[in-house]
Amino acid sequence: MYVDPVHALTQQLRDRKASGEKLAVLTAYDYPTARLFDEAGIDLILVGDSLGMVVLGLPDTTGVTMNMMLHHAAAVRRGVKKAPVIVDLPANTYGNPDHALHNAERLVAAGADAVKLEGGVDMIDSVRAITKEGIAYVGHIGMLPQSVLKEGGYKKKGRTEDGASQLLEDAVALEEAGAAAIVLESIVPDVAARISSSIKIPTIGIGAGSACDAQVLVSHDLLGLFPWFVPPFAVQEANLAMEITRAARKFVERVKGE
């Protein structure tokens, strides 16, 4: 009997939330990192448009293109055998339902098991266009990096009752539109907890407190690979930047000493 793998993924994530299991999510942008994370047991791997900043040196995510995402998604796909791979739709690629579906299909063809786009109620038509065609979708509400220029910086969300109510409305609408999970970024922890307890799909927190059903980090923040900026909520488990610098200096010394 054929089982639609997209619907199976959505149900799998619902079941894991219902069981109370916390999920660990990391970003990956290349084959070796993705393979290592998969072999380490990471639950979900996100090819985030954060690659614009931590891989390509852009000032924010707004300059990331579809071609960039397709390139990195394909590399990650080659390294992953077990964990579902989520891939971001970059800025300006899902402004209307037809555009959103077309680009979501391109990411799936590159290897995505699910696609993610930013926004809540205002993006519902695009979300429905994606899920209606059987493509798994992950939401993203709260602080939206693709809107950083419009908003004038990165700001905590849910500080007011009106703001909290809008976030809850967004989450419920995304769940009803078929979302498999929702990223909650930089949301007041109490509000993130309210959202998490109000929906049946997992919430994936980043700077949103410990009550979320999952936690995601940019891998460079976890590994200490981007020392020029470290988010206040990130806990570094390694300092690979220091190790890379040490190895490079040792190489310089060895070559010049020959």
Binding annotation for Mg(2+)? 49, 88, 118
Q: Which residue of the set 169, 185, 243, 253 is catalytic?
A: 185
Q: What element of type H or E holds 141?
A: strand 136-142
Q: What are the DSSP calls for 166-197, one per residue?
A: HHHHHHHHHHHTT-SEEEEESB-HHHHHHHHH
Q: Which residue has the tokens 């998969």?
A: 38
Binding residues: 49-50, 88, 116, 118
Assess whether 185 carries a catalytic annotation.
Answer: yes
Q: How far is residue 161's CA from residue 128's CA, in Å, rounded to a whole number?
A: 28
Distance between CA 195 and CA 181 in Å, rounded? Answer: 12
Catalytic residues: 185
